[in-house]
Amino acid sequence: MAKEESAISPRFQSDCEDDDKKTKDFVRDELKNVEKWDASGVDFDKRTLEGRKANRGFTISIGKTSNTTAAELEPLRKEKRAQTLPASNMRRGDHILSPEAQENLFKMNETLKARYRRGSVTVATTILSDEQLMATWQEKCTHHTHGMMTEGQAHGDERERTTIGEPLKDAPIVSCHKGSKGFRDTTPNQDNFSITLYKNGWTLACAFDGHGPFGHIVSTRTVQTIPYFVAQSPSFPDDMPTALIEGFERGQKELVAHSLENGWDVQASGSTAVACCWKDDVIYTANAGDSRCVIGTETTRKVLFETEDHKPNTPSEQERIEASGGEVRTQTYPDGWVNHRIFVKGEDFPGLCMARTLGDESVKQHGVIATPEVKMTKVNLSEAPFILLASDGVWEFLDSEFVIKAVAKKIKSDGPERTVQKLQREAKKRWKQEEGEYCDDITSVLIQLGPR
């Protein structure tokens, strides 16, 4: 049954068309007629086609003086961006596989299935049941929340979630919006998240960004299994780096077995992943790919730490990939923007834009690893530190310094929940400016530390 209009959350109203949309459309249509008729002496108030919503995204100073020029106030970018898309592919979307590449991937998956059925030690592993996951949430945790598999969502819809255990005091604020791959896009949201509070006082937060035909399954599965494997690790919590690495690597192995058992293809489907585990003033981060975690404070409004994105052209990542039989191919667009993708050498798949992922079994023997990079950060709780985990939907057009400064300012004036909503809207606005109808899925997880 369709939702009533009144049931729509206010946070999504900001993405609706303005009330005067008909007026704006009328003006645009008449201007087209003016051009067609080659009429002269026609003028109009350009503000008719403009307008700002009261619940808009971030509008903050970035330390510029009142004499700053309009050119200096352009959105911060490291590179130029094209305003058009190549006919054959979405420049920031998944690589479109040729029929030959699809056939090769199918054969690879059939070979993997045969090895799995024979009980090959490199493939076989225990597939976690729902009962095993639930038992761990109940025995070793006081709280667990993760995003549910949700069908039929539209651009901007929030992912539904399920919660086990007690409600969290000062719970992290999470928003996970479906993006848009074009007009009337019906594909699933491929981002997902989880929050797990263990009985020993440590909390693990995950923000994963799926890609490929079954990327939504990869992210939904691993935001549950990685917290499970961390909880089961004998290294947890005394040796946190080992526990986190073990969680990712065991999650990868279970994922492959799950795909083979349940009939979905993991060869060219995967997910980037960023997680952080904290207790008191100690924070451990683990990341694979270009989902990112940043740490800042409300008092200084500065970046204390940020994870490093694992891009194909990062020298250490590229060296490992090429030494393992993969190759990084570069495409330069007419405006100078450069895109790097990873392929099996001599093949046309999978075309990944990140050098570490969960899933993507076709390149696991070619240097694209699931092992995360783990770092430890210690913070001063008196400075009101906060952690933000976000998918590439946020970071593609917003840099860490801007986000930390904006979030630190807005937390005090608007509170954490409205701050996350504004961050999501700001990211969405940048996507529309740069890529038109195409917008990545966008996920933000905001965690405030220390007394408040």
CA atoms within 13 A on the CB side of 60: 21
Residue 322 has pLDDT above 90, yes or no: yes
Nearest to 273 by CA among 317, 228, 234, 224: 224
Q: What is the 3-state secondary structure (H, E, C) of 188-251?
A: CCCEEEEEEEECCCCEEEEEEEEECCCHHHHHHHHHHHHHHHHHHCCCCCCCHHHHHHHHHHHH
Residue 94 has pLDDT above 80, yes or no: no
Q: What is the pLDDT of residue 173?
A: 98
CB atoms within 10 A of CB 251: 25
Residue 61 has pLDDT above 50, yes or no: no
CA atoms within 13 A on the CB side of 306: 17
Q: pLDDT band at 96, cuts 50/70/90? A: confident
| Domains located in the chain, CATH noted | 99-305+356-448 (3.60.40.10)
Residue 183 makes CB contacts below 8 A (sequence gap 6+) with 437
- Alpha-carbon gap, residue 289 to 177, rounded angstroms: 20
Query: Residues 102-146: pLDDT tens digits?
Result: 787 887 888 887 777 777 656 657 899 999 999 999 999 999 999
CB atoms within 10 A of CB 373: 16
- Alpha-carbon gap, residue 394 to 398, rounded angstroms: 6
User: 36 in helix, strand or coil?
Assistant: helix
Burial class (CB in 10 A: 0-12, 13-18, 19+), 151: exposed
Q: What is the mean pLDDT of residues 234-238?
A: 97
CB 348 within 8 A of CB 318: no
Lowest mean pLDDT among 96-110, 185-199, 309-323, 336-350: 96-110
CB atoms within 10 A of CB 341: 17
Residue 73 has pLDDT above 60, yes or no: no
Per the model's pLDDT, the better-predicted residue between 171 and 152 turns out to be 171
Q: What is the pLDDT of residue 121?
A: 52
303-306 and 292-297 beta bridge pairing: antiparallel
Percent of the chain with pLDDT over 70: 78
Nearest to 228 by CA among 211, 206, 210, 209: 206
Q: Between helices 99-117 and 240-262, what is the axis angle to 10°? A: 100
Lowest mean pLDDT among 100-104, 115-119, 307-311, 397-401: 115-119
Query: Residues 156-215: pLDDT tens digits?
Result: 999 999 999 988 888 999 999 999 987 778 889 999 999 999 999 999 999 999 999 999
CB 313 within 8 A of CB 79: no
Query: Residues 6-47: pLDDT tens digits?
Result: 333 333 333 444 445 555 666 566 666 655 555 555 555 554
Residue 281 has pLDDT above 50, yes or no: yes
Per the model's pLDDT, the better-predicted residue between 140 and 5 turns out to be 140
Q: pLDDT band at 90, cuts 50/70/90? A: low
For the record, the structure tokens of 355 come out as 């050098």
Q: What is the pLDDT of residue 151?
A: 83
- Alpha-carbon gap, residue 21 to 288, rounded angstroms: 43
Q: What is the pLDDT of residue 334?
A: 81
Q: What is the pLDDT of residue 338?
A: 85
Q: What is the pLDDT of residue 75?
A: 42
Percent of the chain with pLDDT over 90: 63
CB 257 within 8 A of CB 124: yes
Task: List, in sequence order, every beta strand (DSSP E) within 368-417.
Answer: 373-378, 385-390
User: What phi and psi, each to the nearest 5 degrees, are found at residue 444?
Assistant: -135, 135
Query: Residues 368-391: pLDDT tens digits?
Result: 999 999 999 999 999 999 999 999
For the record, the structure tokens of 184 come out as 């009337």
Q: What is the pLDDT of residue 117?
A: 73
Instruction: Give this prediction's pTM.
Output: 0.79
Q: pLDDT band at 80, cuts 50/70/90? A: very low
Q: What is the pLDDT of residue 36?
A: 56
